[in-house]
Structure 1
Amino acid sequence: MRLLAPATVLLGVIMLSGCAAATPTAKATPTASPTPTPTATALTEPQLLDKQTKTMVSLYSQVVCTNLAERPDLDLDDAVDKVLATYATEGLSEESRVELAHRVLEQSAAQSCPDQSERVAADLNGE
């Protein structure tokens, strides 16, 4: 037991000397730098249109293509109306909402069913 006491004292001295060495001798004065506050910036309508288009194409392109394949006689004007009635298009004017529906149909076809792309483009352009 006698060996344990000197070892404990030695360990204590080592720990204290390490703490003392780690303690700075001169206190540094921290300079205050202002942290930039993030501000919420509203998206412009074109940015909002792009964002919603990407989201909808990502989520629904396969559904769009399934409907196009299962219904070859589908009137795309009806499909545009259904897109507008079904999916959220907050913050967009009526003109942008219609453009969103067109983009979703065109980009969904291009991404998930390229064989339908020509049909979609022709129908949406009134050809």
Structure 2
Amino acid sequence: MLRWFRRRPRKGRSGGGSGAGRRGWSAQDKTHLESFARTRRGVEGFVEPRTAVTDMTLLLVASDGEWTRRRVPDAAFAHEFANKLGVPSYDAQVVGYPQRMRDWTSRQAAAQKDILGKAGEAST
């Protein structure tokens, strides 16, 4: 009898439910979000709902569009945490994502493509 696909509970996993391997809120998540909010201007928070593949997350977006996200236990926690940071927070499902975030991501992708292109030219 093959047991390759049998599910085993993971160490430190709290609660039941679906999503084997989902990781909860950690001290590293807290530190990362605090640092991001403290070192950038005009930061806003967007609470993203849980999906089939990701846990609920808090997305922080700076005024220049730079962004970061980390898992959070629930929406109430995310809004409260953002408020403690002095960051306005919104439900991403309701208000959507700011254009500056998409623009920043596009600029980063273009810069990365440019770097890779130059590296390829140098090797030929």
User: TM-score normalised to the size of structure 2?
Assistant: 0.32
Structure with greater contact order relative to length (CA < 8 Å, sep ≥ 6): 1
Larger Rg: 1
More strand per residue: 2
User: TM-score normalised to the size of structure 1?
Assistant: 0.31
